[in-house]
Structure 1
Amino acid sequence: MDKPLRPAMTAAYYAQCVISFGVALGSVALGIIFLPVAPWVRAFLAVAVLYTVTSAFVLAKCVRDRQEIVSMSSRVDQARLDKLLSEHDPYKVDGL
Structure 2
Amino acid sequence: MSTPSAQPTTTSAYIAQAAIAFGVSLFGAGVGIFYLPLDSWQRGFLGMTVLFLVTSTFTLAKVVRDRHESASLTGRIDQARMEKLMAEHDPFKNP
Q: Please confirm whether the aligned pair reaches a TM-score higher than 0.5, indicating the same fold.
A: yes
TM-score (ref. length: structure 2)? 0.73
Q: Which residue of 2 aligns with 1:58?
A: 59
Q: Which residue of 2 aligns with 1:13?
A: 14
Q: Which residue of 1 aligns with 2:33?
A: 32
Partner Cα separation in structure 1 for residue 36 and residue 67 of structure 2: 39
Deviation of 1:7 (Å): 1.3
Partner Cα separation in structure 2 for residue 55 and residue 40 of structure 1: 22
Structure 1 residue ranges (4+ consecutive) displaced by more than 4 angstroms after TM superposition: none
Query: Percent identity at matched positions?
Result: 46
The residue type paired with residue 56 of structure 1 is T
The residue type paired with residue 63 of structure 1 is V
Q: Which residue of 2 aligns with 1:70?
A: 71
| Bigger Rg, which one | 1
Q: Which residue of 2 aligns with 1:92?
A: none
Deviation of 1:2 (Å): 6.4
Q: Aligned-residue CA RMSD in angstroms? A: 1.5
TM-score (ref. length: structure 1)? 0.72
* Residues 31-52 of structure 1: CA deviation (Å, up to 9, x unaligned): 0011110000000000000000
Deviation of 1:30 (Å): 0.2
- Residue segments in structure 2 that go unaligned for 5+ positions in a row: 78-95
Deviation of 1:6 (Å): 1.9
Secondary structure (helix, strand or coil) at the match of 1:7 reads: coil
Partner Cα separation in structure 1 for residue 39 and residue 29 of structure 2: 17
